[in-house]
Amino acid sequence: MNIVVLDAATLAGADLSPLANFGTVTTYEHTVDEQIASRIQDANVIVSNKVQLNERHFAQAPQLKLICVAATGTNNIDLAAARTAGIAVTNVAGYSTPSVVQHTFTLLGNLMTNIHRYAEDCRNGAWQQSPMFCRLDHTITEIANKRFVIVGYGNLGQAVANVAKAFGAQVVVAERPHSKEVRRGRMAFEEALKVADIVSIHCPLTPQTENVFNADTLALLPKHAILINTARGGIVDEAALAKALSDKQLAAAGVDVLSTEPAQPDNPLIQYQGDNLLLTPHTAWASKESIDRLIAGIADNIDSYLNGGQTNRVI
């Protein structure tokens, strides 16, 4: 088997030796569109995270049988064209859940305890100049007893809910936006926003969720609310969020994803300078353990394909 990894840099130098059990592995740190054809022309298996592959590329790879997406989302692959070409496509579901949960609460904890501001104060000598043993310049609040609204209640949302409950939060599961029915145990989306102290987003980006957090819905949140987005950037209208933060219509936000990545200089959240925003560069998924699980999942998918098996990773 000729296995080609198109964007190995997205795997942070992970050990790819499990893939070598199935054949020759050729790796490229990055691949741009004009390089794809020459790199995949003899490939039987492609491993790719973010390289976009479509019908044109499939026609250039006559030996291609399997695409292993090194991620959960498959939006970078033309699935219909792959199906027509007889190319199987797999993803790896759930590998990053512990990492994303940890990152969610890291962002939230920093914002609620103002750790980033206190750390900066220490670097600038404020503690050394304090007339008492500590500094109390920035408000510190607790997760306990807060209404913790979760938007997107799949495996990841449920894992976040479990940790929120361990902190003593009152978990509220928001119904899907625009839904005409409210399922048992859930609260209508807009009603949930109105009572939220914390909102954590874990839903996929779909036509129904694109910019669902916009000027109107952000205005429903109490002014003390904190918004965390470790899902997809397009779910939140970034200009509206920047304005809400600037106008103190929203207390704070922690964001790991943007609508266009890598971040563009003119993105409103990149330009925003307030200390009530924590922005990280799409790293919530990327713990060492998470990446190791991802590689193991890709190897499992190749093994399953070669042995004619079906797993819940096969699309």
Residues with catalytic function: 232, 261, 282
CA dihedral 120, 285, 147, 111 (to 10 degrees): 0
- Distance CA(25)–CA(89), nearest Å, equals 18
Determine which helix (DSSP H) or strand (DSSP E) holds 103, and give its type and residue range: helix 97-113
Helices marked H in 155-287 — which ranges? 155-166, 189-195, 215-218, 238-246, 268-271
Helices marked H in 168-232 — which ranges? 189-195, 215-218
- Distance CA(108)–CA(154), nearest Å, equals 20
Q: How many CA atoms lie within 13 A of 179 on its CB side?
A: 16
Name the burial class of residue 65, with classes exposed (0-12), middle (13-18) and buried (19+) by CB atoms within 10 angstroms of its CB: middle
What pairs with residue 254 in β-bridges?
A: 228, 278
Name the burial class of residue 266, with classes exposed (0-12), middle (13-18) and buried (19+) by CB atoms within 10 angstroms of its CB: exposed
Contact 204, 189 (CB under 8 A): no
Structure tokens at 282: 């799409």
Q: Name the 3-class secondary structure at 124.
A: coil
CA dihedral 148, 207, 59, 87 (to 10 degrees): 50
Name the burial class of residue 70, with classes exposed (0-12), middle (13-18) and buried (19+) by CB atoms within 10 angstroms of its CB: buried
- Distance CA(264)–CA(266), nearest Å, equals 5
